[in-house]
Amino acid sequence: MDIDQFLVKSSLQFVDKASFTWQTPSNIALVKYWGKSEPQIPKNASISFTLNNCHSITTIEFQKIEKTEEVQFEVFFEGSKKKEFKPKIAEFFGRIAAYCPYIFEYQMTIHSQNSFPHSSGIASSASGLSAIASCLMSLEQQLIHVLNSDFVIKKASFLSRLGSGSACRSLEGPLVVWGNHPAIEGSSDLFGVKFPHKIHPIFSNYQDVILLVDKGEKQVSSTVGHELMFDHPFAENRFQQANENLTKMSKTLQNGDIKSFVNLVESEALTLHAMMLTSNPYFILMKPNTLEIINKIWEYRQEKNSNICFTLDAGANVHLLFPENEKQNILQFIENELISYCIKNEYICDAVGFGAKNLTNSNPN
């Protein structure tokens, strides 16, 4: 799909006011992307599990005004006005203005809330910005009555990407690929696409328990981290490796080779952090308790012949991934051996989900 197809080419039938509510989840990458070019184009393809319980619920109220040169909006997070959130959202609106010209014709009031603790290491930008994009596309559908559902999802993902790269993987599920890749039909650098192949039953209802090792603000922003890949000595090899790993992951997800899945997922997580360790400036996002947990996982897997594995985002928190048939035993393992490594003994239980939900005219609770 060409980028020009996301431009608004039909006449708009403006409404005086409207309100839309969307629930969109976060996601956890199995094959990571680290490194991008402008505008938000990934240097390698990635694939993620869409989460279910870790989501944002966002309502945008639109009130028609005279056309302005700057987008007019206010942001409320969990009931409180958040001026500090406005610069990032304003930057997002600036990036999408050419594709959503109607945003200059409305005063927008954004109300958002998360199902997970703020600064818990869950990708709130993925869930939050994909929710805003979904609300905008609901308005666009009302202003242009000829949009089909496939186009709406693609454009919502396209817009989300311009706010946060990983956000484009939060619209569908249970598995989404972002980045042009020969093994994934229809894949694109411009938006995420649902994994097109039949998934082996072992990966259905896969579990993700997030161990909260560190709830502080990010030591290094994702933007800065991605920029450090520009002149990274291992960048090109990493991009090639990631694309090769996605080919392997595609086959593994189809044939159910869970041992290969475990190896690939953990290797990808450690390679992501290896890129941070070897950039200049270099940085370490793992904490001592992150390493303690990883070693405990390896011991447990060896002793119990378990299929548990870990993955990491650009932070210290640990995602435990495992098939549903091991849930009871692993939850006991967490309570017995891992919980002491978590801040205030906190962890979040989640599982794979199926993407965004339109809650307009329904009770989000």
Which tokens go with 321? 């991934």
Query: Residue 361: which residues within 8 A CB-CB, separation 6 or more?
Result: 21
Task: Give the model's pLDDT for residue 221.
Answer: 79
Residue range 106-165, pLDDT digits in tens = 999 999 999 987 666 676 899 999 999 999 999 999 999 878 999 999 999 999 999 999
Task: Give the model's pLDDT for residue 119.
Answer: 61
Share of the chain above pLDDT 90, in %: 90
Mean pLDDT of 318-326: 98
Residue tagged 């030591």 (tokens): 219
Residue that wins the pLDDT comparison between 69 and 217: 69
pLDDT confidence tier of residue 85, bands split at 50, 70 and 90 = very high
Task: Give the model's pLDDT for residue 1.
Answer: 59
User: Please, what is the average pLDDT of the chain?
Assistant: 95
Would you say the pTM of this structure is higher than 0.85?
yes
d(CA 265, CA 288): 21
pLDDT confidence tier of residue 302, bands split at 50, 70 and 90 = very high
Task: Give the model's pLDDT for residue 280.
Answer: 95
The fold for domain 3-197 equals Ribosomal Protein S5; domain 2 (3.30.230)
Task: Give the model's pLDDT for residue 219.
Answer: 73
Q: Which of these ranges, 39-53, 183-197, 205-219, 266-280, has the smallest mean pLDDT? A: 205-219
Share of the chain above pLDDT 70, in %: 97
Looking at the structure, give the CATH architecture of the domain made up of residues 203-351.
2-Layer Sandwich (3.30)
Task: Give the model's pLDDT for residue 365.
Answer: 45
Residue range 2-14, pLDDT digits in tens = 899 999 999 999 9
Q: Which of these ranges, 174-178, 217-221, 304-308, 315-319, has the smallest mean pLDDT? A: 217-221
Sequence ranges of the domains in the chain: 3-197, 203-351
